[in-house]
Amino acid sequence: MLAYKLITTIEELEPYRSTWSGILEKEHNNNPFIEYEWISTWWATLGVQENVEIYIVEHQGVAVAFFPLVHCIRFGTIHYFSFLGQGFATYMEVIADKEWLEHSITFLLKEFSRKYKRYLIVLHGLVESKKTSQELEKYAIEYQMPHSIFRTVTSYIDFQSITIDTFLQKHRKKFKSLKRRENKLKSLGHVVFQEVNPNYLQDMFTLFTRRWQKKIDKSGFTEKQTRLFYERLAKTNSKVLRVEVDSLQFERQWIAFTIDLCCRERNFCQAMGHEPDFNLFGPGRLIEKENMLKAHQSGYRYYDLGSGYEPYKFEWYTHIDFTRKFVMSTKGIKERNIRLWMVIRDRLKGLLTNNHQLVKLKRDRLGELRYFLKHANTKDWLRAVTKMFQRILSVHILDVYIAEQKQDSEKVRFQELPMKDIMTMKERANNVADLYKGYRPFADGDQVIYKRHDKTATEETVDYSYELSDNMSFIKEYDSQRLVEIVTEVQREGRAVCTIAPWYDRSRRRKLVQAGFHKVAKINIIKIFKWQKIYHV
């Protein structure tokens, strides 16, 4: 009753486009990775070197199922089959009419057993709640085929199961915290969340590169062919598969993005990235929040957070599913040993990837170390060695200096820098962080002359701070050659000026005295590992 055809080129597959899409339409598919446009775009861009084999199961000459596989010979003589798109497709399954799915799987696997003496089938991304996973497991049990199953959690929001008001109320603390950050950012400049035209994705890849330059990234998201793949996919004219890229922009510069694959009622968040210089403002969290709300407003039922155990995915979810990796082989000793090795490897990998602290160590800390070894100069090495010893034992002696209040009618010499001007400066990361902490940078032209805080005095090298009295300002990172002008500028407002100098910097302390400062206190700080004692003299 059933027969199959083997397709090995896109040109051969093209006549089946309408049949393929018709089956998915009939089955109300919401998996973007098995839509014809995704498969064909991947094949033409990333799968060119792969031995792609599309098996079409037919009933009386009519296609009723498609198996999108990659076939190769591994481990000497074993035929190795896997779903195509590995590393790019989070979910995969057999494309089939519901009534023909079980028959098609049974038929094709029997054909494999007849045709190949030894084979190993390794299928990733099988969603447990879908029929393909269940039918494969049923076949393996019924025909006593050696098999193993690995599970990874998949979290998502089902907006049909919860009203938006209830969702907002449930996460009110997080939304309130994000609103504070958003308002802080908006107070410094113009912020906008907007969808991006598919023709302008360059900024997305540039931002992703900056986001991961000090981390270990194995996604290959910014590699040439991967970029081409997403650019082509974004321009496909599919009625059911859309690539939506949204950006969070500050003063017309990207500080965060999301790229989503949307298929019928599902919005799948493919990737996110944000500008590391803006970390304190939480741009990644801000755009994630906006993206979720946009998905709800656009009428999507599911907001899919993807597979994995990253903590942020479990902050918003309403439901969980599981994706499976299904491994099945023939009964030979060699295949069994290979499958046993794969079981041990994948379980060990699962234990490691489920440990978020270990993942952060590998991805973040080792990434930072690699970046440091590649780019550090002598000054950076000295600073790093000093910091390392100071984590064990350090003694800091700080002198507090104050220049008393004076009312002055001197005209303004320095202009306060707005955030939009800081965006183009070399020390942007440091300046943006200081703005977040409440510092006001003042400049002469395009050069920062000093930074001022009207509420707190801080010595950040030792993490020491104290509250200032009224009508007093703290200055730091000032141009010592123009210290008198700086003091006069602040005193013009009727404010006293405060700053902190380390005991060993004689030149700096001498210039402070010459500018009208006098020492009012000495602070001794002793640190041994995490223990700290502060003495005020």
- Work out the percent of the chain whose per-residue pLDDT is above 70: 99
Q: Over range 282-289, report the average pLDDT.
A: 95
Q: Over range 106-115, report the average pLDDT.
A: 95
pLDDT, position 305: 94
The answer on pLDDT for 410 being more than 70 is no
Residue appearing with tokens 């502060």? 534
- Yes or no: say if 235 and 222 are a contact pair by the CB < 8 Å rule: no
- Strands of 112-187, DSSP E: 119-127, 147-158
- Yes or no: say if 84 and 68 are a contact pair by the CB < 8 Å rule: yes
- Yes or no: say if 103 and 2 are a contact pair by the CB < 8 Å rule: yes
The number of helix segments (H) and strand segments (E) in the chain equals 19, 23
Confidence of residue 313 (pLDDT cuts 50, 70, 90): confident
Question: Which are the contacts of 148, defined by CB distance < 8 A and separation ≥ 6?
Answer: 326, 327, 339, 342, 343
pLDDT, position 336: 86
- Yes or no: say if 191 and 178 are a contact pair by the CB < 8 Å rule: no
Q: Over range 427-438, report the average pLDDT.
A: 91
- Yes or no: say if 211 and 275 are a contact pair by the CB < 8 Å rule: yes
- Strands of 462-517, DSSP E: 464-467, 472-476, 496-502
pLDDT, position 530: 83
Higher-confidence position of 70 and 362: 70
- Yes or no: say if 222 and 209 are a contact pair by the CB < 8 Å rule: yes
Choose from 266-270, 489-493, 533-537 the range with maximum mean pLDDT.
266-270
Angle at 292 between CA 280 and CA 191, to 5 degrees: 45
Distance separating the N- and C-terminal Cα atoms of the chain: 95
Half-sphere exposure of 262 (CA within 13 A, CB side): 23
- Yes or no: say if 283 and 275 are a contact pair by the CB < 8 Å rule: yes
Report the C-alpha gap between 259 and 269 in whole angstroms: 6
pLDDT, position 407: 65
- Chain-centroid distance, C-alpha 57: 40
63: left (phi over 0), alpha (psi -120 to 50) or beta: beta
- Yes or no: say if 289 and 312 are a contact pair by the CB < 8 Å rule: no
Comparing 60-69, 176-185, 306-315, 323-332, which segment has the lowest mean pLDDT?
306-315
The answer on pLDDT for 406 being more than 80 is no
Q: Which residues of 211-250 are buried (b: 16+ CB within 10 A; e: fewer)?
A: bbebbeeeeebbeeebbebbbbbbebebebbbbbbbbbbb
Summarize pLDDT for 435-480 with one digit per residue, the tens.
999 999 999 888 899 999 999 999 887 888 899 998 999 999 999 9
Report the C-alpha gap between 43 and 288 in whole angstroms: 30
φ and ψ at residue 293, rounded to 5 degrees = -65, -35
pLDDT, position 312: 83
Summarize pLDDT for 123-163 with one digit per residue, the tens.
999 999 999 999 999 999 999 999 999 999 999 999 999 99
pLDDT, position 198: 85
Both structure tokens of 6 = 């083997």
94: left (phi over 0), alpha (psi -120 to 50) or beta: beta
Q: What distances in angstroms separate CA 143 from CA 140, 147, 336, one per listed residue?
A: 5, 11, 16
pLDDT, position 50: 93
The answer on pLDDT for 492 being more than 90 is no
Q: Over range 41-49, report the average pLDDT.
A: 95
- Chain-centroid distance, C-alpha 106: 40
Comparing 137-141, 271-275, 306-310, which segment has the lowest mean pLDDT?
306-310
pLDDT, position 463: 81
Q: Over range 411-425, report the average pLDDT.
A: 85
Q: Over range 329-344, report the average pLDDT.
A: 89
pLDDT, position 532: 86
pLDDT, position 116: 92
The answer on pLDDT for 216 being more than 90 is no
Summarize pLDDT for 221-262 with one digit per residue, the tens.
999 999 999 999 999 988 899 999 999 999 999 999 999 999
- Yes or no: say if 270 and 254 are a contact pair by the CB < 8 Å rule: no
Q: Over range 25-44, report the average pLDDT.
A: 96
The answer on pLDDT for 5 being more than 90 is yes
Report the C-alpha gap between 498 and 376 in whole angstroms: 34
